Structure 1
Amino acid sequence: MTAADRVYHIIKQRILNGSYAAGSYVREAAIGEELDYSRTPIREALRRLVSDGWVEAIPHHGARVVSWTQHDVEEVFELRVLLEPQVVRRATKRISEVQISTLSRFADQMEILCQQDDERAVDEIAVLNNQFHAELVTAADSPRLQRLLETIVQVPVSRRSFHHYTREELLGSMQHHREIIRALQHGDGEWAAAIMRAHILAARIAQMRQKQPANKVEVDHRFSKGLLIS
C-alpha cells in the first residue's frame, strides 16, 4: 500500500471503532505527527474519505467525521424497504440475460471474499454490493426510482451495515443475492420483491444493533453517489 492508502485505512478504522466520534475533526497535523507522514499523503487520504462519505470537508476548519442520528438511519431504511422491492419487481420484466450474468458474477466475487477474514475484504464486498444494487436499478429502467434512491441512500450507512454483520448475517446476505437472481431468472416479481424486503430488513437489524451515545450512530459503511449497501 502507498502511504495515502495506509492513512486512509487507519482513519477509517478509527471512525469504525469510535476513536473518531461523529462530528469530531480529523486534524492533518496531529495525524502527521503521530504517523510520521508528510501532509501530502494525509491530504490525499482525507480527499478519498470525503469522496467515500466518511468525512466532510468544512471550509476553513478541515475534515469532520459525518454525523448520523439514529432517526436518520431508521428513516433511510424505512424508505429503502418501500423503494427497492419495487426496483426488483420492475426489473423482472425488463432484465436481460447479460444483466443477470453480471449480477451472478458480482455474487460469485462477494462469496469468494466472504471466505476471507479481513477488513479490506469487507470493504470490497461493500463495493461489489453497491454494483449489484446499481445493476438492479439499471435493469428496472426507472429514472425516477434511481433519482429517489440516489437522494435517500447514503454511503456511510450501508458500509456501516457490513462491518456490523455477524458471520451468519453476512452469509445470509449472500444467500439473498442468489435468491433474488433466481427470482429474476423465473420472472417472478413478487418473489424478487419479497426477498429484497427481507434483505433490507436484515441490514437494518445489523445496523441498528449498535448502541450509540446521545442518539448518534458511529459513522463508519457505503449511496451518496450511488445506492445503499445491504
Structure 2
Amino acid sequence: MTAADRVYQIIKKRILDGQYPAGSYVREATIGQELALSRTPIREALRRLVSDGWVEAIPHHGARVVAWTQRDVEEVFELRVLLEPQVVRRAAPRIGAERLATLDDLAERMEALCERGDDASVDEIAQLNNRFHAELVAAADSPRLQRLLETIVQIPVSRRSFHRYTRDELHGSMQHHRELIRALSLGDGEWAASVMRAHILAARAAQLRPAASDEEAREPAFRRRLHRA
C-alpha cells in the first residue's frame, strides 16, 4: 500500500464513521502533520476521493465532504425502486449468454469476498456491485434509462450502504444477485423486476437505519464477523 493509498483509506473511513461529517473540510496540512507525510500523497488521495464522489473540490477552500441529507438519500432510493426494476424487466428478453456469464462471474467474486474478514472487502464488493448493475443497464439497451440512472445513482450512497450492512443483510444481497441471474436466464422480466425491487428496498433499509440504533446493528458486517470469530 502506497502512502496515497493509506491516506485515501484513512480519510474514507473517517467519512464513513462520521469523524469527518458532511460539509466539513479535509485539511491537507492537518492530515500531513498527523501522519507525518508530505502534501504530495495527500493531494493524490484527495483527487481520488473527489473522483469517487466522497469529497468535492471547492476553489480557494479545499476538499469538502459531500453532503447527503437523509431526504436526499430517500429520494435517490425512491427513484431507483421505480427505474431499476424496469431495467431488468427490459433486460430479460434481450440478455445474451455472454452477459449472463459475466453476471455469474461478478456474483461469484462478490460471494468470495464475503468470506474474507477485512474492511477492504466492502469496497471491492461495492465496485463489483457497480459493475453488476452496469451490466444490467447495458442489457436493457435503453440509453434513456441509462442516462437517468447515471444522473440519479451516486457511488458514495451505494458504498455507504454496503458499509452499513449487517452480515445477514450482505448475504441477502448476494442471494438477490443469484435470483436475478436465474430470472434473467429464463427471460422472466416480471420475476427479475420483483427481485430487483426487493434488492433496492433492502439497500434502502440499510442506508437509512436510524443513527440511534444499537452499536451492534451499526457496526460494519465484516468487523462484526471478526469480533465473533
**Partner in structure 2 of residue 37 of structure 1:** 37
Secondary structure, aligned partner of 1:56: strand
**Partner in structure 2 of residue 8 of structure 1:** 8
Pairing of 1:1-230 with structure 2 (within 5 A) = 1-211=1-211
1:137 positional shift? 0.3
Distance between the aligned counterparts of 2:123 and 2:155, measured in 1? Answer: 12
Deviations 1:122-157 (Å, cap 9, x if unpaired)?
100000000000000000000000000000111111
TM-score (norm 1): 0.91
Unaligned runs of 5+ in 2: 213-229
1:119 positional shift? 1.1
Counterpart amino acid of 1:22?
A
1:211 positional shift? 2.0
Secondary structure, aligned partner of 1:126: helix
Question: Does 1 or 2 have the higher relative contact order (CA < 8 Å, sep 6+)?
Answer: 1
Deviations 1:30-72 (Å, cap 9, x if unpaired)?
0000000000000000000000010000000000000011110
1:117 positional shift? 1.7
Deviations 1:96-118 (Å, cap 9, x if unpaired)?
10000000000000000000121
User: How many positions carry a matched residue from both structures?
Assistant: 212
**Partner in structure 2 of residue 228 of structure 1:** none
Report the identity percentage: 77
1:172 positional shift? 0.2
Distance between the aligned counterparts of 2:65 and 2:210, measured in 1? Answer: 18
Q: Say what the alpha-carbon RMSD is for the aligned residues.
A: 0.7
Unaligned runs of 5+ in 1: 213-230
Distance between the aligned counterparts of 1:58 and 1:99, measured in 2? Answer: 40
Provide runs of 4+ in structure 1 moved above 2 Å: none
**Partner in structure 2 of residue 217 of structure 1:** none
Deviates more, 1:202-211 or 1:32-41: 202-211
